[in-house]
Amino acid sequence: MNGRTRVLFTAGVPTPPNCAHNVVISGGGIVGAAAMAALQKLRARFLAESVGAEGSVSHNVHSRCLSRLLLADPMARPHYDAANIMHNLRTVSLTPVSSKLLDNLGSWKRLQTKHAYYRIALRHERTNGPVAPDQSSQEKSRNFFVNGPLGNGTSTAEPLLEFTNLDSPLGFICYNSDINTTLLDVVEEQMKQYQQPLGSDGCGVQEQPTDCIEFGSSLGSYSLPHRNIVDGPAGRAILRKSVGDQPVEFSLLLGCEGRGGHLRESLGSALVQHDYAQTAFVCTVQLKRPADGNVCCFQNFFTNGDIIALLPTSEDTSNIVFSTTAEHARELAAAKQSQLVEELNRCLHAFAPRDIPLIISVPEVELGGKTVRAQGMFPVRLSVALQPFGPRCLLLGDAAHGIHPFAGQGLNLGLYDVCALVEVLERAVRSGQDIGSVIAVGQPFAAAMMSHTGIMITAMESVFGLLATMPGLSCTGMSVLQKLPLVSSLGKQSIIHVASGGFFASHHRESFLLA
């Protein structure tokens, strides 16, 4: 899209015409692709219910509500290449609930990388080090009654707080590009499979699904019903393609454009925003192979507010996410290989040499006569839309709630949005409601979104605020949570329940995407 996207709000009749597209998705990233795949699954669910005992198609009004789907994205269609070091740069920590959702969409088994981790170890510079060489040989854990519930005040290699579950993974580290590619593969395969007609429209005319994916094309010049109208005419937009502009008409528009999406800005929804004054430096690292198979996520906090995470991607590789000042991030990006490795080890391995793996190198390749390193940077900001919906329009994922990466929950919340949306749409369709209705879809979806994003964002902001302003109190609290038996048992179970997606799943037991 060039420049600011224009949104025109119009008044009109309460019932939309037979739209060219039932749902239009702006954005072909992971959340947009997941939304497309989920809508196809919901349509298949409706269609299966309309097939008679002898295979004849009968009443299919439900499936026809989702018979025409469009996904558009201005970028090129992603194709994951494991040999391309830049494709392995951006990772995500998927919760067990998110993995279940992707499995039901048909994407999970296709992923080339889904490295499970069973332990999370958190340390803080105030209490954990870096430790002196003579301390690195100490035992990983000491007797509770010897150490005392709050520690002895000296630097130790023992984690300030850790979560362990040897029975099942706490989560999985996957590559963004890999997830995006597999979801689009699923969508395209579904488009090819549904060649059978959905049934008669009452005039003897057979109707077929007409899904469409348009990469290299952008949506703009939106025309939506006026905000004061509960239901209104169909929404309209212009699909800008390389061969020319094409008018688009829709019942529902899903904004999955990410943080920088023009649609959210143009809708004028009130935002809660906060600039953390940090830049996330990310890179891939080669490790000295850990004896445990590299199944632990490490995260170190610093008194100056910096946060570094080491996320395992295989038995001897990991991904770094270093939230630091913009100046420090630029220094890391410009550093020589040896300097970068030394700095990363100082911030990670030196805290607990017997626990945190040693970084050996950061992968580099020669490209066009230049040395290219697997690294990147992006600004860290909080941005939450207080009203992630409008007439015939919903915001999902980062377009609705962009959060700090330190808890690794950003994409999970976006996938939960997709799950919640499908539930709301299924209820609306079954009750004969307009899928673009503010009352039947927009408001219920926003309420469902707030129930799973609100608690997570509030918890993360509280923890981040305490770590930044009162590190001593934060360390004491984490130490109590780690060392007092009853508090540790109940507290950790509650944290894992929320962080693993258990809280979300408990409120969406009827969702076929989590079956």
pLDDT tens digits, residue range 125-166?
888 767 544 444 443 333 322 333 334 444 567 898 999 998
Residue predicted with more confidence, 332 or 146: 332
Give me the pLDDT at residue 228, please.
66
Give me the pLDDT at residue 419, please.
98
**Residues 417, 25: Cα–Cα separation, whole Å:** 14
Average pLDDT over residues 392-398: 95
Average pLDDT over residues 378-403: 92
Residues 374 and 231 placed together within one structural domain of the fold: no
The CB density around residue 515, as the number of other CB atoms within 10 Å, is 8
Give me the pLDDT at residue 462, please.
81
Say if residues 225 and 215 touch (Cβ distance below 8 Å). Answer: no
Host domain of residue 322 = 119-164+275-379
Give me the pLDDT at residue 279, please.
96
Model-level pTM? 0.88
The CB density around residue 296, as the number of other CB atoms within 10 Å, is 23
Domain boundary among 421, 447, 463: 463
Residues 410 and 459 placed together within one structural domain of the fold: yes
Give residue 487's pLDDT band: very low, low, confident or very high (50, 70, 90).
Answer: confident
Residue 471 lies in a domain: no
Give residue 8's pLDDT band: very low, low, confident or very high (50, 70, 90).
Answer: low
Residue 272 pLDDT greater than 50, yes or no: yes
Using CB atoms within 10 A of its CB, is residue 374 exposed (0-12), middle (13-18) or buried (19+)? buried
Average pLDDT over residues 113-119: 96
Give me the pLDDT at residue 134, please.
47
Residue 86 lies in a domain: no
Domain boundary among 344, 359, 379: 379
Give residue 475's pLDDT band: very low, low, confident or very high (50, 70, 90).
Answer: confident
Residue 488 lies in a domain: no
Residue 282 pLDDT greater than 80, yes or no: yes
Residue 142 lies in a domain: yes
pLDDT tens digits, residue range 291-316?
999 999 999 999 899 999 999 999 99
- Beta-ladder partners of 92: 174
Residue 209 pLDDT greater than 90, yes or no: no
State the residue for tokens 């950003």.
410
Residue 96 preceded by cis peptide, ω within 30:
no
Residue 454 lies in a domain: yes
Residues 367 and 390 placed together within one structural domain of the fold: no
Mean of all residue pLDDT scores within the chain: 85
With a pLDDT cut of 90, the percent of the chain lying above it is 58
Residue 429 pLDDT greater than 90, yes or no: yes
Residue 148 lies in a domain: yes
Number of domains the chain contains: 2
The CB density around residue 368, as the number of other CB atoms within 10 Å, is 5
Give me the pLDDT at residue 129, please.
65
Give me the pLDDT at residue 52, please.
57
With a pLDDT cut of 70, the percent of the chain lying above it is 85
**What CATH number is attached to the domain comprising 75?**
3.50.50.60
**Residues 255, 5: Cα–Cα separation, whole Å:** 13
* Rounded (10°) angle between helices 96-105 and 410-430: 50
Domain boundary among 445, 463, 481: 463
pLDDT tens digits, residue range 166-205?
899 999 999 999 999 999 999 999 998 865 554 444 444 4
Give me the pLDDT at residue 229, please.
66
Residue predicted with more confidence, 13 or 362: 362
Average pLDDT over residues 10-32: 73
3-state secondary structure 148-161: CCCCCCCCCCCCCE
Say if residues 19 and 251 touch (Cβ distance below 8 Å). Answer: yes
pLDDT tens digits, residue range 452-469?
999 888 888 887 777 777
Residue 408 lies in a domain: yes
